[in-house]
Structure formats: structure tokens, C-alpha cells
Amino acid sequence: MADVAAEAHVSVKTVSRVVNHEPGVRPDTAERVRAVIERLGFRRHDGARLMRQGRTFTIALVVEDLANPFYSQVGAAVEREARIRQHQLITASAEGSPSRERAVIEALVNRRVDGIVVVPADESASSDAVLEASHTPIVYMDRPVRGTPRDTILSDNHGGIRSAVEHLVAHGHRNIAFYGDDPAFWTARQRRDAFVATHEGLGLPGSPRVSMGPHSSGSVQETLVPWSRGPEPITAVITGNNRITLAVLLALREQRLPLSLVGFDDFELAALIDPPVTVVHQDPAAMGQKAAQQLFARLLGDESPAQTVVMPTRLIVRASGLRRAALNR
Amino acid sequence: MADVAAEAHVSVKTVSRVVNHEPGVRPDTAERVRAVIERLGFRRHDGARLMRQGRTFTIALVVEDLANPFYSQVGAAVEREARIRQHQLITASAEGSPSRERAVIEALVNRRVDGIVVVPADESASSDAVLEASHTPIVYMDRPVRGTPRDTILSDNHGGIRSAVEHLVAHGHRNIAFYGDDPAFWTARQRRDAFVATHEGLGLPGSPRVSMGPHSSGSVQETLVPWSRGPEPITAVITGNNRITLAVLLALREQRLPLSLVGFDDFELAALIDPPVTVVHQDPAAMGQKAAQQLFARLLGDESPAQTVVMPTRLIVRASGLRRAALNR
DNA sequence: TTGAAAGCGGTACCAG
DNA sequence: CTGGTACCGCTTTCAA
């Protein structure tokens, strides 16, 4: 900028005015400056600018794994909201490690990002002190965190599972098993608890048959086989997420068990499997959008108390929830 | 930092030394400084630091759509390489628009990112001037660009298609159709050309039956039905990408056509469809990793001529490539 | 309408 | 081992 100023025989301040389209520059002066800018290929150094202004026009997203379709859809939505507002997005993976997450967040705070959206690795709020001291706004997604109340965007796990159970019951199922993921995950526990509660609420027979992961096709079969034989054999299965749905589908195929199924999380090509898989759909794009919007509201000065938003799920009925007898007719 | 210096009765330079673990500070002085840092909750402002140092320790990834599984896997790989090297990653979507891509790249250059990986929207190299003037290293991915030679990471489209044709021929197919995506895409044209070349190279009968998109299940059926009836009916189909594979699968199901299939791009649950889908797998994670590695090599001063790397594809044989007669036995 | 000087928060360089 | 000072590239403030 100094170069441009010298070349155009004006002060840096005038160049600055031209670059930022500030008023109060004579048109011919402005034109002369622009010509020099063009000739020298000058580009404003946004780092310096933003440092002076105290904001970075950057937000960050911290997730477990960017390659996971759930997170990548969240990422796309957050990036879109950021772009609309002239902000840039830094994305970082914590790989499910709380310590790495903490390190990542500290690095982001050191960079003075304006705000952070994070899918927390655990509930420990290990970055609370840093965030508090730096006044960096944060929005948690998908899972809540202990400690200081913060804006949090969750999925309606309970409602989703309930709709799955009710759907199966409406189609005549009474004996339904639930396969969930590792109970270390908050969402896995939520969905399990929702299943048990709904099971009892509807007065289904016996005690709820629940198997928590981590699961593979093999580990699923260990309970799937006895449960579908013995007395009161199960006729349907509900799964706690994408990964478990896959394991159960493989297990059903391997054992040639004609059980009905409702999965949590929609997945690509669920409609092409035979029979097409009925799922509880959560909307990662909507969640990401909501999280980003909430973050920007804070950046714009919203000082209202932290709020938790529960995003609705939607049952996508295909065919796997019907009774197999009905399907074959 | 000035506050810390004042409080600890040392100069800012000494604080700087402590913060950066530079040698030449007496242990007790360092300890005193650290105590003040802790008490005041001081955190180094990386923006200021990086501005002085002239590097930002930031690289960027520009793609069409972060939610697309191909790009999100690339993104995860690039982020990982960046993180290993203490860099952060800015991700941006250009939504397939060359003008938006140009704007995004200019913004990134203004931020002085150290380098950029981009999946270009078209071949026009519209950002060439900016990149040239700013000396920002760039690596192109998946598609080449005209103009100044640049580092480029491509997938072996030709080899992939050839392996698909050869696989089908080995299983007795002679009449094979190709469904590709919109020929506006460089990769779509590459794969089409590879099909035609292989078709001729192997001396398959008649002229190659090719239908380019954009395709839906409906548009596929328009040619699929006549081609599988008339004289020399096709017995197999090759698809040019993920999206087309889906359209063809739906079309085959709708028309109850028992054709064999090899798809380009692997996809989630391809193994669970009946019959399991044989695919040409390209490795987005490996491509992203390679691109990032190439970029960092440039950042470390590699001045060798720009190179184009073609990453191998791999045929994942499941069952859909067999003749249906064989399958039913 | 224009410019000089201070300062954002650090680091580089050199002196003590 | 420690400190002073210039300076990175821009914006802010105030004066001309």
C-alpha cells in the first residue's frame, strides 16, 4: 500500500480510502490510485486489516471426522451461512479425542476466530475456561456439554425413536429389539433410553431387548439369533444409528432372518436395498444452519441467555417396517 | 503481552521469549513470567505473530460442494495433512460456479493463505493472474486447468474404465452400454472417451452405445429399454459416476431388466444391494493427501517443474458384473 | 479533500 | 541473559 501511495503521489490513507470505497476522495485522485493499484497488482492484506479492526471474519467448525457424511453435511451448511455473511470457515477434526479437541480450540482462540461451532467429543467442557476468558462465542451441536450453559443444537432423539417404535407397532409388531452404539456416546444413551421408555409406555410385552455396541455384524448376530428364535420371538429391529443399521443389515442377510427394520439416520441408497429401509431422518444440514445462525446472532450482539434448540426428526417410511408376511403377499 | 511484561517487570521481548520457548531466559525469570501469563490468562495473538512472520500457517481447500462424499473425503485428508504440519485449513464451496470460485480464491489470496488446493469448476484458469502475482502455490485436483502448468492430481479415469470393460468382457459380455454424466465435466468426457477407445480396442461389435447426461432414472430408461431389446441387445452397463449409477440402478429396477453393471466410484452400501455392485474405486482420501503433500512440498521450497500425478483406480469385484444367467444358477 | 502520526500485538535485530 | 526499537500492513484519529 505504501508502494501504491508513493507511485500515485498520495498518502497511504488515501489509498486506503480508495481500496475501501470510502467517500471523500476526488474522482480523478481515486482513478489515478486505482490505475496504480492495477498496474502494481496490489492486493490488500486482510490479515493486517483485520488485526487492526479486532475481528477476523472467520468462524470455525470442530467435528470428529470431516469425512463422515453427517458432519460433512453440517460443514457444508455452516460454510454456506458463513459465506453469506462474508466470513470464512476453518474446519478441524478432533478425531473424537477430548484432548485434541481442546488443543484445536485453543489454537482457534489464539487465532481470534470470531466464533466456534463444535460437536463435542465428550461432555467435559474442557475448553470452558479458555472460551470464558477469551469471550469467544461457541455453539455446541448434536451433544450437550456440562458446566456453563451454552447455546446447543440437538436432534430430537427421543421423538425419533418413539416414532420408529410406534410405526412398527402400528404394523402389528409387538416384539422389537433395539441395537444401539457404544453407550459412551451421549446420543447412543439417549436413543436407548427413549426406546426403553416408549417400550414401557406402549405396554409391549416382556422387558425391552436392548444390545449396545460398539457393534459389528458378528456381535449383532450373537443376540439377534436367540432373540428371533426363543419364546416371544422378535419380529422387528430398531437401530441406533447409521453404522449399526449397516451391521444389522449384514447380520440379517447372513442369517437369512426376515425381520422388519427401522434405522436411525437416513443413508444414501436406503431406497435401493431390498426391502427399502424405513428410517428416522435427522437433518444435519438444518442443524448446521441453525448452529451457524445462532452463532452469528451472538456475534451481532445477542446477549440473551444460552438456549437449547431441539431439531425435529422425520420418519421416512419405505418398506422395511412392514411385517414381512405383508411384504410377501 | 505488554501487560504481562509490565506485571512481571520484564520487557515484552522477554515475554515473547518465554511464550515461544526460546532459549536464553533465566529459569526464575521465565517462571515469574509464566506465573503472570497464567494469572492474567494471556494468550498470544497469532494473527499479529503471523503477520510479522509473513506466513499464516493456513492452507485452503476450494471444492464444489463440501457435502458431496467425494469432496468431504478429500477435505478430511487435506485437513489431516495440514494438522500434522501445524497448519489450519479453510474450506470453501464454489458451488460449481467459475465466477464464485474466482471470488473465493481472491479472498483467500487476500488473506495470504500459504497455499490452495482446488477442484476447479472449469478449465479456464480464471484465477491464474491472481495466483501468479501473489506467488500463492496451488494444486489442482480431479480436473486439469488450461494455461500455466500447475501441479495437478488426477484419477486414472482411462484405466478405471478400461478395467471395467475388460471385467465385463471376461465374463462373457459383448454388448455393453455406457452412461456418463454431463459432458460439460472434464471427467465425464474422459470416461466416455476411455469407454469408446476400449470398446474399439477390444473389437466389440457395432459402434459403442453411449448416452451422456445429465441423467435421471427416466432419461436412462429412454435408451436402456430399446438397447436391451433390439438386435444385439446389451447385457451390461457401465456408469460414469456415482450419481449415474444410482439413476441406472433405479431404471433397471423399474424396468425389471436383469443387466449386469459396473459403476464408477464406490459408494456406501454398494455391497448390500442385490446383487452387490461391482465398482471402479477411486481413492479420494489418497488424492487429497497427495495434493496436500505436493502443496507442502512447494511451501518448503520445492521449485521443480509443475507435475501431474495420476492416481490409480481399483476394480472392486462384487457380483453385479457377472452374467445374470451365472448368478441365477 | 487530503495527510501525518499513532497504534493493533507481536517478532527481528542489534546493543548492552 | 535482557532490553530497546524498528517494523509487519493496515486503520483510526485528528489536524490541515
State yes or no: pLDDT of B242 exceeds 50: yes
Pick the CATH number of B2-44 from 1.10.167.10, 1.10.260.40, 2.60.300.12, 3.20.20.70: 1.10.260.40
Cis amide linkage into residue B226, ω under 30° from 0: no
Pairwise CB contact (< 8 Å): B41 & A285? no
- Is the omega angle on the peptide bond into residue B275 within 30 degrees of 0, that is, cis? yes
**One fold for both A55-155+284-311 and A157-281?**
yes
Q: How does residue B326 score in pLDDT terms, banded at 50, 70 and 90? A: low
In whole angstroms, C14 C1' to B59 CA is 34
Mean pLDDT calculated for residue range B196-225? 96
- Tell me if B92 and A92 make a contact (CB, 8 A cut-off): no
What would you measure as the largest C-alpha separation in chain B, in angstroms?
Answer: 93
Q: Within 7 A of a protein CB, which nucleotides of strand D?
A: 1-5, 7-13
pLDDT tens series, chain A, 329 aa = 999 999 999 999 999 999 999 998 999 999 999 999 999 999 999 999 999 998 999 999 999 999 999 999 999 999 999 999 999 999 999 999 999 999 999 999 999 999 999 999 999 999 999 999 999 999 999 999 999 999 999 999 999 999 999 999 999 999 999 999 999 999 999 999 999 999 999 999 999 999 998 999 999 999 999 999 988 999 999 999 999 999 999 999 999 999 999 999 998 888 888 889 999 999 999 999 999 999 999 999 999 999 999 999 999 999 999 886 655 43
pLDDT band for position B281 (cuts 50, 70, 90): very high
Residues 174-233 of chain B in contact with strand D via CB under 7 angstroms: none
Residue pair B279/B271 in contact by the 8 Å Cβ criterion: no
Q: Which nucleotide is nearest to B24 (CA to C1')?
A: D1
Q: What does the alpha-carbon distance between residue B297 and residue B320 come to, in Å, rounded to a whole number?
A: 42
Q: How many CB atoms are closer than 10 A to CB A263? A: 29
| Section B132-154 average pLDDT | 96
| Mean pLDDT to the nearest integer, B88-98 | 96
Answer for B13: CB within 7 Å of strand C. yes
The gap between B44 CA and D10 C1' (Å) is 20
Question: A67 vs B56: CB contact, 8 Å cut-off?
Answer: no
Q: Is the CB of B44 under 7 A from strand C?
A: yes
Question: Which is nearest to B89 in space by CA: A75, A142, A99, A16?
Answer: A75
Q: How far apart are CA A127 and CA A139, in angstroms?
A: 13
Average pLDDT over residues B6-18: 93
Residue from the list B50, B107, B268 with its beta carbon closest to the beta carbon of A269: B268
How distant is the Cα of B211 from the closest Cα of chain A, in angstroms? 23
Nearest C-alpha in B relative to A100: B83
Contact (CB, 8 A) for B63 and B93: yes
End-to-end CA distance of chain B: 78
Find the nucleotide nearest B3 (Cα to C1′). Answer: C9
Better-predicted residue by pLDDT, A303 or B230: A303
Q: For residue B112, which residues of chain A lie inside 8 Å, CB to CB?
A: 45-47
Does nucleic acid strand D have an atom less than 7 angstroms from the CB of B6? Answer: no
Beta bridge partners of A205: none
The answer to whether the C-beta of A271 is closer than 7 A to strand D is no
CATH 3.40.50.2300 describes domain B55-155+284-311: yes
Whether the CB of A11 is less than 7 Å away from nucleic strand C comes out as yes
Rounded to a whole number, what is the distance in Å from the CA of A40 to chain B's nearest CA?
Answer: 9
Please state the CATH superfamily assignment of the domain spanning residues A157-281 in this structure. Response regulator (3.40.50.2300)
**Which member of B43, B51, B66 has the closest CB to residue A72?**
B66
Average pLDDT over residues B292-321: 96
Q: Spell out the domain ranges in chain A.
A: 2-44, 55-155+284-311, 157-281
Confirm if A182 and A214 have CB atoms less than 8 A apart.
Answer: yes
Which residue has its C-alpha nearest to nucleotide D8's C1'? B52
Place of cell 472392486: B316
pTM, two decimal places: 0.94
Q: From residues 38-77 of A, list those within 7 angstroms of strand C by Cβ.
A: 48, 51-52, 54
Beta carbon of A12 within 7 Å of strand D? yes
